[in-house]
Amino acid sequence: MGGGGGRGKRSVRGRATPSTTAAEEEEEEEEERKREEGEGILATEEDLGEDDGEELQAAWVPRLRVRGRTRPRACQSRQPRMTPWRLLRCCQWTAAWVPVLFIAVVICWSYYTFVVELCLFTIAAQEEEGKAAIYLVIFHLSFVLFMWSYWKTIFTPPVCPSKEFFLSQSDEEHYEKEERPEVQQEILKRVAKELPVYTMTSTKLIRYCEKCQLIKPDRCHHCSVCNKCVLKMDHHCPWVNNCVGFSNYKYFLLFLFYSLVYCILVTTTVLEYFIKFWTLCRRKSAENCPKTNLRNTRAQFHVLFLFFVATMFFISILSLFCYHLWLVGKNRTTIEAFRAPVFLNGPDKNGFSLGWSKNWRQVFGDEKKYWLFPIFTSLGDGVHFPTRLMMDKEHVTGTNHHEHTRSSGSTQNFSVGPLSESKNFLLATGSEQDVSSGNIYLLYLLL
């Protein structure tokens, strides 16, 4: 009995029942069919290259979505994911445009209020069509110049240093492997020998950007928002979502100027009707008069609010514009106003000042007819800057360089490094240039 029972159990283990065999055969057939479908399409990560994985993902993902099956592990690892860092960068990019969008909304609303509510529904309705036409012509002239300057300030990309300021691959590898700061400085000095670099750090070292891996030209700084080094960087302005530097500083000044003109024009033209509407509103509120024209009430609201907004912006922009006019007169950037550039003879806030007239022309150019238009007329290339004082003949890196003078009685020669001419700017050569004023120090290409 015991032996028979044991044999019975062994027969059950060794031989499957008909129902069990059918279920296992179906599972094996299903697995075989899945294997055949995936054969030639799926591959292991070891057999796939980087390009093959991307092609595999593009070919396999649509099929998986249609059939509703789970994506293989190899494809899951190669699928681009929205990492927290990418999500943060996306949010930062979106938030950076919020101030610009706010200014755009205010400008559009002010345009509608002045043109429609004031000129058409208020002034023209009082049979003063000639007055309304004059207002519209003057308003649109200032509006076009204002928007032109604002557009150029926003969408003019900041200029970065040219390739001559970057370390070569061998120097970069040597610099990164070297742990001794003094040896790293020797590497930078050797590279900077032929570069027009005259300013240093506060500790008399070569100004080097670890993020961009380049030797910073004079007046160049790294912008943490744009994540790049910007030539003659003044500041990063959130209201234009752009770095204000060598390429768009003139546009920024004109933007501030035409903003003031725009606010003054709106305030002075609206003031008459602001007083009328204000007294009318006070009289109606005193009399508790419920019967008012809906169109007149809407126009009154827009005109009153426009006066307050224009006055508020005028006061805030006026102080900023006056400050930047002072900076232009001193030939300083906002950064240099707070932290003086360091030369071989020490820090000097007025190191680049050449006098008010020359400082002004360095930003706006020699052609007076282009000063009020947002067209690039600044002198130089953003790398070479004449200095106020006589520079020592010894270069920052230990080599000789040309002397920079402030004399106004003779033409000046300025050092020219081994830089290729930019397609946007031309740098004056060492030869003397004769002009009517007798004092020109850089040639430029007018954009």
- The catalytic residue positions are 237
**Host H or E run for residue 156:** none
Q: Which residues pair with 166 in a beta bridge?
A: 214
- With CA atoms as reference, report the closest residue to 235 among 247, 225, 243, 226: 243
Distances (CA, A) of 410 to 90, 406, 433, 440: 55, 9, 10, 10
CB 136 within 8 A of CB 116: no
Is the distance from CB of 301 to CB of 271 less than 8 angstroms? no
Q: Return the beta strands (E) in 42-123 as ranges.
A: none
- Specify the 3-state DSSP secondary structure of 39: strand
For 38, 154, 385, the CA distances from 332, given in Å and listed in that order, are 67, 22, 12
CB 252 within 8 Å of CB 240: yes
H/E stretch holding 56: helix 50-67
Residue recorded with tokens 């492997």: 177
How far is it, in rounded angstroms, from Cα 414 to Cα 431? 9
Q: Which of 408, 411, 318, 319 is nearest to 356 (CA)?
A: 408
Locate 426 and state its tokens.
Answer: 């031309």
How many helices (H) and strands (E) are present in the chain, helices listed first?
A: 13, 8
Number of residues written out for the chain: 447
Spatial neighbors of 283 by CB under 8 A, at least 6 apart, are none
> How far is residue 154's CA from residue 239's CA, in Å, rounded to a whole number?
9
Task: State the pairing for strand pair 346-347/214-215.
Answer: unpaired
Contact 440, 414 (CB under 8 A): no
DSSP state of 392: P
Core vs surface per residue 261-293: b (16+ CB within 10 A) or e: bbbebbbebbeebbeebeeeeeeeeeeeeeeee
What does the alpha-carbon distance between residue 218 and residue 195 come to, in Å, rounded to a whole number? Answer: 10
The SS3 of residue 244 is strand
Residue carrying structure tokens 């590279």: 191
